[in-house]
Chains A and B, each alone.
Chain A
Amino acid sequence: MVTLGDYLIVSGILFAIGFAGVMLRRNLIVILMSLELMLNAANLSLVAFSRFRLQPSGLPDYNAQIFVFFIITVAAAEVALGLAILVALFRARQTTDVKDITQLRF
């Protein structure tokens, strides 16, 4: 049978993949996609906890699924804003590579 630990470990691996993407890649679009992977890993943990920790009535704990709903909304707003910033940056610099954006670097 599938246990709660299996879901949590799959979610942890997904988070680590997203984290490695943020650390390793230099393309800003791929960094945004890796951020989405990390947010979704958190969503998977929340839904797993909601299903395994039942309410006294025997139904899943729907509070966690409401958090997932809010996270998805905030993530969608974040993607829209991030891509708008990226388009503005591309107009100014003609690049999406983080190695070429060093103006604020000490």
Chain B
Amino acid sequence: MPPLLFWVFALLMLIFGVAVVVNRNPVASALSLVVSFLGLAALFMSLDAYFVGIIQVLVYAGAVMVLFLFIIMLLNLPAEERRQINWLAAAGGIGVALILLVQICAVIGHFQAAHQTLPPLPRSTTDDVWNIGALLFSNYNLPFQIIGVLVLVATIGVVLLSRREPR
């Protein structure tokens, strides 16, 4: 992928990520999050991780965001009204996030391997879905089954939580 496309998709992702935080209307936040996730999926594909990019689009931009929009519209949430902003708390929040960002950039700046460019891939005979699947069902077989149990527990928990109390 040419560097221009990397920066286009990275900027798209970051701008719409900021829009998620800044928008006062929850529906606008959710739709911005969809665009942000699509940009992220494009970045995954630029790293030759096609399987992860596809499940990013299917699971996040598809299923999870539909769930968010469904709940926002079910609860009929209005746009947040303007309240008195607590400037001290807001400055503290932004300050902590900025300090974290500076720390991350400093660590990456001192990281030797961070200067390497994309190493070329050999022309492989198998696609990455096959490779990930083979690894998932051999080395990671037990974690895969545990994650299945986790999803089952989450399903039961959601049903129990959203059931109305019998009167």
Chain A residues within 8 Å of B, Cβ to Cβ:
1-10, 12-21, 23-27, 29-30, 32-34, 36-37, 40, 43-44, 47-48, 50-54, 58-60, 62-63, 65-66, 68-70, 72-81, 83-88, 90, 96-97
Contacts and interface: CB of A to CB of B under 8 A. Distances in A.
B128 to A, nearest CB: 7
List 3 A-B pairs, minimum CB-CB distance, nearest first: A23-B93, A5-B114, A12-B104
Contacts of B109: 5
Interface in B93-109: 93-94, 96-98, 100-101, 104-105, 108-109
Contacts of B14: 10, 13-14, 17
A87 B71 contact: yes
Contact of A16 (B1, B101, B111, B116): B101
Contact of B52 (A23, A36, A58, A65): A65
28 contacts: A5-B115, A8-B108, A9-B108, A17-B17, A17-B21, A17-B97, A18-B17, A21-B20, A24-B93, A29-B29, A29-B30, A29-B72, A29-B77, A30-B26, A43-B56, A51-B49, A60-B48, A63-B135, A65-B49, A66-B140, A76-B59, A77-B151, A78-B154, A79-B67, A80-B158, A83-B71, A87-B74, A87-B162
Interface in B39-62: 40, 43-44, 46-49, 51-52, 55-56, 59-60
Contact of A62 (B108, B111, B132, B154): B132
B142 to A, nearest CB: 12
B52 A33 contact: no
B33 A37 contact: yes
A10 B14 CA distance: 8
Nearest to B56: A72
A34 to B, nearest CB: 6
Contacts of A73: 147, 150-151
A65 B104 contact: no
Contacts of B46: 2
B88 interface: no
Given A6-B6, A7-B47, 6 more contacts: A3-B114, A5-B108, A13-B101, A15-B100, A37-B36, A86-B71
